[in-house]
Amino acid sequence: MRKKIVAGNWKMNTLLKEGMELAKAVEKLEKEKTSDALVIIAPPYTHLSRVKDLIQGVKLSAQNCASEEGGAYTGEVSPDMLKSVGVEYVIIGHSERRAYYGEDDEELNKKTKLALSKGLKPIFCCGEVLEEREGGKLYDVIRQQISVGLKDLSKEEMAEVVIAYEPVWAIGTGVVASPEQAQEMHKFIRGLLVELYDDQVAEDMTILYGGSCKPSNAAELFANPDVDGGLIGGASLKAEDFLGIVNAY
């Protein structure tokens, strides 16, 4: 049985005190949740070790990690460092990293492999921009991102990976993919995993939807057979909204 997950990506938001308050509020509401989805939060790097002490039921993710183990890489944070403060998950290949920091599929593959080798679980993001969707290239784009980004992983490693499908045109725009659009792409991704790996890897893979997900639209997105939860940006910055999405499951 694959895991249901709702993960909150705080991006570059909240000062430490606000982040700690938010983590506490999420932890409190998680205890009262009506769904069996696993709840994950991804605060900024600076908050991770303090937030770790405030959560139990809620799991901790980083928003990124280095592709190198350690050494002279100014400004980078290694998977080992993340592990050392109790991080379990790491978002890899968010569209903002791809677009603003030039992270390409090969680099993301390197990060994914390194993270896995250090015992972190990657939340691997993929998604097409609007022109690619309108130009009918959406499936080619996702095929490329997944087949290169998740290249040469063993089946055991794939069992630790979570995929997040995040159409870039839906991120932070208020324009959400329709339940049909989400299901169509999630089904395609699962089919691709059959092709690249096998039926078991595909069946067990948790595939999250991300892009303007809110308490009011979460239920119809999560009702799809191939949608296993969500990666939430804006709405994860308010504990009530975030848990509203969790409870919509």
Q: Is 8 in the site for ligand PEP (CB under 6 A)?
A: no
Q: Is 192 in the site for ligand PEP (CB under 6 A)?
A: no
Active site residue 94: yes
Task: Pick the binder of ligand PEP from 138, 234, 242, 243 (CB under 6 A).
Answer: 234
Task: Pick the binder of ligand PEP from 4, 5, 6, 9 (CB under 6 A).
Answer: 9
Q: Is 67 in the site for ligand PEP (CB under 6 A)?
A: no
Closer residue to ligand PEP in complex, CB, 136/174: 174
**What letter does residue 176 receive in the DSSP assignment?**
P
Interior/surface letters 9-36, b for 16+ CB within 10 angstroms, e for the rest: bbbeebeeeebbebbebbbebbeeeebe
**Active-site position among 96, 103, 128, 166:** 166
Q: Which residue type occupies 42?
A: A
- C-alpha 117: how far from its chain's center? 18
Nearest CA to 220 out of 181, 174, 167 is that of 181
CB 60, CB 48: distance < 8 Å? yes
Chain position carrying tokens 């239920």: 219
Query: Whole-angstrom Cα distance, residue 123 to residue 205?
Result: 11
Q: Is 239 in the site for ligand PEP (CB under 6 A)?
A: no
Q: Is 201 in the site for ligand PEP (CB under 6 A)?
A: no
Closer residue to ligand PEP in complex, CB, 102/136: 102
Size of the site for ligand PEP (CB under 6 A): 13
CB of 88 to ligand PEP, least distance (A): 18
DSSP-assigned beta bridge partners for residue 169: none
Closer residue to ligand PEP in complex, CB, 5/202: 5
Active site residue 166: yes
Residue 111: both structure tokens together? 């990060």
Q: Which residues bind ligand PEP (CB under 6 A)?
A: 9, 166, 171-172, 210-213, 231-235
